[in-house]
């Protein structure tokens, strides 16, 4: 058996979310087990808002980031330098971390660091390290 297929044999049931819920693999579904696992994962994430543990506005920074990532439409380019990037960060605009999609923007690592001032700190730290060495 190919590696990674364990537990994803024909006829196994998976929850794909929605009203129909469980479905059987191995019929018309030609998607790979990895893809199906991803769909299941996303379906579970999407159900997060119905989760009783949801803290509303008292949501933590980490959960807020997760929520923004899930709800904010993806884009291929950085909102600041407009360059196309494979990976973008979610960056808070106001600094108040409001639970508002519009209070966040997609930034490339460089612009995000620049905006946060982290880049300067990083350069300073590196310069210091060079001096020490
Ligand atoms: Zn950028």
Query: How far from the centroid of its chain's Cα atoms is residue 57's Cα?
Result: 20
Tell me the pTM.
0.47
- Tell me which residue has tokens 């009783």: 52
The residues facing 106 across adjacent strands are 90
- Residue 89 Cα to ligand 1 midpoint, Å, equals 10
**What pLDDT sits at residue 106?**
96
Residue 89: phi and psi, rounded to 5, are -95, 155
- Residue 34 Cα to ligand 1 midpoint, Å, equals 31
**What pLDDT sits at residue 127?**
79
**How confident is residue 104, by pLDDT bands cut at 50, 70 and 90?**
very high
pLDDT tens sequence across 15-67: 666 555 555 554 566 777 888 788 887 777 766 555 545 555 565 778 888 99
Query: How far from the centroid of its chain's Cα atoms is residue 96's Cα?
Result: 20
Question: Token pair of 93, please?
Answer: 């605009």
- Residue 21 Cα to ligand 1 midpoint, Å, equals 41
| Extents of the domains making up the chain | 13-54, 71-133
């Amino acid at each position: 058996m190919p590696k990674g297929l364990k537990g994803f044999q024909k006829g196994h049931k998976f929850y794909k979310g929605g009203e129909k819920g469980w479905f059987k693999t191995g019929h018309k579904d030609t998607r790979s087990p990895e893809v199906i696992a991803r769909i299941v994962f996303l379906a579970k994430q999407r159900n997060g808002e119905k989760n009783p543990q949801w803290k509303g506005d008292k949501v933590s920074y980490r959960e807020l980031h997760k929520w923004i990532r899930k709800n904010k439409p993806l884009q291929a380019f950085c909102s600041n330098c407009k360059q196309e990037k494979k990976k973008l960060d979610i960056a808070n605009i106001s600094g108040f971390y409001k639970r508002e999609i519009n209070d966040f923007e997609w930034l490339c690592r460089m612009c995000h660091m620049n905006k946060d001032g982290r880049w300067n700190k990083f350069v300073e730290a590196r310069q210091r390290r060079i001096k020490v060495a």
